[in-house]
């Protein structure tokens, strides 16, 4: 909805806030956002209607930031629009730098960056009778669901019961474990479908995880990106820290593999393109499967206000339809196009030390022979 917001529908105020608390309950966002608001008022002072609309939206944004429903949230992105009687508020697990942007469309870069920088994984910790499902992102983990079922213990005193009775007990135990695995797999499926996840991480003993994996539906079993040895013991926070760490590692592995694939294809000279204008072209042609970009793309682009074609160099009139072009945030425009086309988008942060050819690269759909 935010990406699709059209220009020409009046004013949009985008607010990013650091809502983590210092000391008691004093908000960090108050003074810096008041300062930003003063600057906006100065800029639009000669247009009383705009000032009035700005104050209306600001009031709604402030209400949202102060509302009890968002207490304990570390970051908030709140958007107000001239045509909306309510704001759109999005909570974040990390604080945003305080910012107030007034434009004709929502300013989404900080929000998209935060989403893409910390991809979501589903982490499943399990043994033979109890499991926990976490949403794991680099730097954070959140318990989504947990499950525990009655499974008889393994009979280790084999000296007393032999033969048939022993076998019956063992078979009953196996059935109970299988039942538990199936229930857990069902819960995993529900969690998987609730959000967009980048992959599944399994934690536990290898042999148990192998058996559980066999009970996952094929479409989920394919998504397992990592298996991590973990004994069911210790404090909860320790497990969550580990899950968050594993998510960071999985993300880095994936980023390296992605860039290796870009490099391989560049050498082959097929199914890849690099650089903003080339990527824009490929997006417009519906050829992009995966988009990879880094942090240094804060450039300005030019967008046709009629056919919405996007250019990296200044174009006063669109070369295609001759309509006027206006300045736009190149980065946000490319991202919006990619997300609207359901392209798999990857952001590679600067601190990984990884370099992207052309600052932005796209893996293209391969032309498959018809008989394949
Ligand atoms: Zn045009």
- Digit-by-digit pLDDT tens for the chain (372 residues) are 787 777 778 899 999 998 887 655 566 788 888 899 999 999 999 999 999 999 999 999 999 988 877 777 888 999 999 988 889 999 887 888 889 999 888 888 888 888 887 888 999 999 999 999 999 988 788 899 999 998 888 766 555 556 778 888 888 999 999 999 999 999 999 999 887 788 999 999 999 999 999 999 999 999 998 898 887 765 555 777 888 888 888 889 989 999 999 999 999 999 999 999 999 999 999 999 999 988 765 678 999 988 889 999 999 899 999 999 988 888 888 988 888 788 889 988 888 888 899 889 999 998 655 554
Q: Kindly give the distance from the C-alpha atom of residue 318 to the centroid of ligand 1, in angstroms, as a whole number.
A: 5
Q: Kindly give the distance from the C-alpha atom of residue 261 to the centroid of ligand 1, in angstroms, as a whole number.
A: 34
Q: Kindly give the distance from the C-alpha atom of residue 358 to the centroid of ligand 1, in angstroms, as a whole number.
A: 25
Q: Kindly give the distance from the C-alpha atom of residue 10 to the centroid of ligand 1, in angstroms, as a whole number.
A: 22
Token pair 């600057």 is found at: 39
Q: What pLDDT does 162 receive?
A: 66
DSSP state string for 251-294: HHHHHHHHHHHHHHHHHHT-SEEESHHHHHHHHHTT-EEEEEE-
Q: What pLDDT does 157 receive?
A: 58
Buried (b) or exposed (e) across 321-332, using 16+ Cβ within 10 A?
eeeebeebbbbb
- For residue 81, the surrounding DSSP H or E stretch is strand 75-81
Cα 198 to Cα 137, 201, 222, distances in angstroms: 10, 10, 12
Q: Kindly give the distance from the C-alpha atom of residue 324 to the centroid of ligand 1, in angstroms, as a whole number.
A: 8
Q: Are 129 and 48 in contact (CB under 8 A)?
A: no
Q: Kindly give the distance from the C-alpha atom of residue 325 to the centroid of ligand 1, in angstroms, as a whole number.
A: 8
Q: What pLDDT does 370 receive?
A: 52
Q: Kindly give the distance from the C-alpha atom of residue 321 to the centroid of ligand 1, in angstroms, as a whole number.
A: 4
Q: What pLDDT does 372 receive?
A: 45
Buried (b) or exposed (e) across 282-318, using 16+ Cβ within 10 A?
bbeeebbebbbbbeebeeebbbbeeebbbbbeebeeb
Q: Kindly give the distance from the C-alpha atom of residue 82 to the centroid of ligand 1, in angstroms, as a whole number.
A: 26
Q: Are 325 and 302 in contact (CB under 8 A)?
A: yes
Q: Are 130 and 147 in contact (CB under 8 A)?
A: yes
Sign of CA dihedral 111, 115, 117, 118: positive
Q: What pLDDT does 367 receive?
A: 65
DSSP state string for 190-245: HHHHHS--SEEEEEE-HHHHHHHHHHS-HHHHTTEEEEEE--S-S-HHHHHHHHHH
Q: What pLDDT does 5 receive?
A: 74
Q: Kindly give the distance from the C-alpha atom of residue 66 to the centroid of ligand 1, in angstroms, as a whole number.
A: 43
Q: Are 99 and 16 in contact (CB under 8 A)?
A: yes
Q: What pLDDT does 342 receive?
A: 80
Q: Kindly give the distance from the C-alpha atom of residue 14 to the centroid of ligand 1, in angstroms, as a whole number.
A: 27
Q: What pLDDT does 243 receive?
A: 83
Q: Kindly give the distance from the C-alpha atom of residue 296 to the centroid of ligand 1, in angstroms, as a whole number.
A: 27
Cα 132 to Cα 72, 141, 144, 179, 323, distances in angstroms: 23, 12, 8, 16, 56
Q: What pLDDT does 241 receive?
A: 82
Q: Are 97 and 18 in contact (CB under 8 A)?
A: yes
Q: How many CB atoms lie within 10 A of CB 120?
A: 18
Cα 61 to Cα 21, 76, 90, 94, 342, distances in angstroms: 18, 10, 12, 19, 30
Q: How many CB atoms lie within 10 A of CB 270?
A: 11
């Amino acid at each position: 909805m935010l990406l699709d917001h059209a220009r020409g529908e009046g004013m949009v105020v985008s607010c990013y806030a650091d809502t983590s608390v210092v000391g008691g309950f004093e908000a960090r966002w108050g003074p810096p956002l008041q300062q930003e608001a003063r600057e906006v008022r100065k800029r639009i002072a000669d247009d009383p209607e705009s000032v009035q609309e700005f104050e209306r939206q600001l009031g709604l944004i402030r209400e949202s930031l102060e509302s009890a429903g968002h207490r304990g949230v570390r970051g908030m992105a709140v958007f107000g629009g001239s045509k909306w009687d309510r704001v759109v508020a999005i909570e974040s697990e990390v604080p945003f730098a305080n910012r107030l942007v007034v434009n004709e469309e929502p300013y989404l870069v900080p929000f998209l960056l935060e989403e893409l920088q910390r991809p979501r994984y589903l982490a499943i910790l399990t043994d033979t009778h109890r499991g926990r499902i976490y949403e794991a992102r680099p730097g954070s983990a959140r318990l989504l669901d947990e499950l525990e079922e009655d499974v008889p213990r393994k009979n280790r005193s084999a000296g007393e019961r032999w033969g048939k009775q022993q076998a019956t007990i063992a078979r009953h135990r196996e059935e109970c474990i299988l039942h538990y695995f199936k229930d857990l797999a069902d819960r995993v499926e529900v969690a998987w479908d609730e959000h967009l996840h980048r992959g599944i991480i399994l934690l536990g003993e290898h042999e148990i995880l192998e058996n559980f994996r066999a009970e996952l539906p094929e479409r989920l079993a394919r998504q397992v990106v990592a298996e991590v040895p973990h004994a069911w013991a210790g404090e909860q926070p320790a497990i969550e820290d580990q899950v968050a760490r594993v998510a960071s590692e999985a993300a880095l592995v994936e980023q390296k593999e992605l860039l290796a694939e870009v490099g391989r294809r560049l050498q082959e000279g097929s199914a890849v393109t690099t650089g903003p204008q080339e990527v824009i072209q490929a997006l417009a042609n519906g050829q992009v499967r995966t988009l990879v970009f880094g942090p240094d793309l804060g450039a300005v682009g030019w967008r046709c206000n009629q056919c919405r074609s996007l250019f990296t160099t200044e174009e006063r009139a669109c070369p295609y339809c001759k309509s006027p072009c206006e300045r736009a945030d190149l980065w946000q425009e490319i991202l919006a196009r990619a997300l609207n086309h359901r392209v798999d988008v990857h952001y590679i942060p600067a601190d990984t030390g990884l370099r992207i050819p052309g600052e932005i690269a796209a893996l293209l759909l391969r032309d498959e022979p018809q008989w394949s």
